[in-house]
Amino acid sequence: MILLLVAAIFVVLIVLSMPIVFALGIAGVAGLLIGGYDMQVLSSSMVSGSQSWVLLAIPAFVFAGGLMEKCGMSHALVDFARALVGWVKGGLGMAVIVVAYFFSDICGSKMAEVSALGSTLMPPLTKAGYKREDSASLIAAGTAMGMLVPPAIFMIVIAQVTNTSAVALFLAGFVPAAVIMLCLMVLVWFRARKFDWPVDTRPSLPLILATARRAAVPLVIPVVILGGFFLGVFTATEAGAVVAGYAFIAAIVYYRNVSFREMGKLAYESAILTAAVVFLLAVASVFQYLMGVSGVPKLLAEVLGPLKDMPWLFLLCTALITMMFGMVLEGLPAAVVLIPVVFPIAEAMGIDPIHFNIVTTASVGIGLFLPPMGVGLLMALRFANLSVGQHWRAYLPYIAALLVGLLLIILFPQLSLFLPRSAGLIK
């Protein structure tokens, strides 16, 4: 009963356009008051929910991503991706998917990635004859896939929420993201033949080498992250500092197009975003307490009990629920509200925590770009000047490709576990 009242308060506040983090906090405090619980729970839960060293990586990655986008690294990556795959039919469409994989590793923020890719790629897609519906779908699906490519703020938060290794989770994301990327590229290949999408560039080794040279500065980052984590050189927090330092040096020495004042503004925005994330984790811990004392985990365990012999079906059901949460609540609120309830059940079923987190991350990424309410999709449609009603039919094949990739990740856990296991981070 208490949870129903809390949920009703939360929904009303969201309808009244209150920011989600404040709606969660007010609803949580109301739940404590209605249930007659000791208000000391509020302070203790908020402190415990926001104390984690790994969260220090968030401002560093956000600052680095913002600075790299400001320098114009996305343009170099787009040129390199077009040189790599532009010579096949529908090559520009495939280049969108490839550059989304590369840029996700650098950007770390889905909204910033949509903005960068939308502003950079929408004009050439339109010029090449792609319909606006397909252009928006390519950018949305590619960015949804990129949720799995580190560094992602969501991965850092989910590692903290589930008390798992952020480094292992970062390493685990590379291969599953590549699987979904291949699913999307196969779809583009078929649609290119159906709609006669043009070849973008001629096969040219000199062009590949020239664009690779210009893209070398941003492409160092995934190599450093993957190699550093695999060899155990640094932690996730230290990786954030390394990437931020590299971005700063690249901006000062190589690009020279960002002023110190602009860097200061980016640092300020990074601090604000980090504060919002930490505050969200803090207030969500009150929700987690209320669900715990209300017996929600036990109830869910009983409901999902029949699936204990079919972990893949449990993961599929969890993924579908997570997608719905991700579409309505956005990524981070979905994680901090839903995952603490479901994660213990997955552990009891013997599902590897890293595999579970990768499936959840992919599901949230897809949810952010699901019609009609996914905030990432709405932002992509803004660049294409389309409404959801005009777009959704053309987007269905891309959703299907994303779901096929997700199903492959669910059915084959080794896709997620291969790299962290090879690095000795899990058994």
The string of pLDDT tens digits covering residues 253-286 is 888 888 899 999 988 988 887 887 778 777 777 7
Return the closest-CA partner of residue 290 out of 28, 50, 7. Answer: 28
Q: Which one has a higher pLDDT value, 113 or 122?
A: 122
Please, which residues have CB within 8 angstroms of residue 88's CB and are 6 or more apart in sequence?
94, 189, 192, 199
| H or E segment to which residue 73 belongs | helix 73-85
Read off the pTM: 0.86
Share of the chain above pLDDT 70, in %: 93
Residue 307: what pLDDT? 76
Burial of residue 2, with CB atoms counted within 10 A of its CB: 0-12 exposed, 13-18 middle, 19 or more buried: middle
Residue 69: what pLDDT? 76
Residue 106: what pLDDT? 67
Residue 297: what pLDDT? 66
Share of the chain above pLDDT 90, in %: 23
Please determine, for residue 374, whether its predicted confidence score (pLDDT) is greater than 90: no
Number of Cβ within 10 Å of residue 36's Cβ equals: 7
In this prediction, residue 360 has a pLDDT band, given cuts at 50, 70 and 90, of very high
Return the closest-CA partner of residue 226 out of 102, 400, 80, 360. Answer: 102
Please determine, for residue 305, whether its predicted confidence score (pLDDT) is greater than 80: no
Please, which residues have CB within 8 angstroms of residue 163's CB and are 6 or more apart in sequence?
none
Distance CA 151, CA 59 (A): 12
Return the closest-CA partner of residue 58 out of 262, 275, 219, 293. Answer: 275
Please determine, for residue 50, whether its predicted confidence score (pLDDT) is greater than 70: no
Angle at which helices 110-127 and 91-107 cross, to 10°:
160
Please determine, for residue 340, whether its predicted confidence score (pLDDT) is greater than 90: no
Structure tokens at 56: 């220090």
- Give residue-wise pLDDT tens across range 116-145: 788 788 888 888 889 999 999 999 999 999
First to last CA, the chain: 42
Q: Which one has a higher pLDDT value, 368 or 177?
A: 177
| H or E segment to which residue 287 belongs | helix 260-293
Return the closest-CA partner of residue 263 out of 254, 252, 273, 272. Answer: 252
What string of DSSP letters covers 146-208?
GGGSSS-HHHHHHHHHHT--HHHHHHHHHHHHHHHHHHHHHHHHHHHHHHTPPB-S---HHHH
Backbone angles phi, psi at 199, to 5 degrees: -75, 140
In this prediction, residue 331 has a pLDDT band, given cuts at 50, 70 and 90, of low
Report the range of poorest mean pLDDT among 36-45, 181-190, 312-321, 414-423. Answer: 36-45
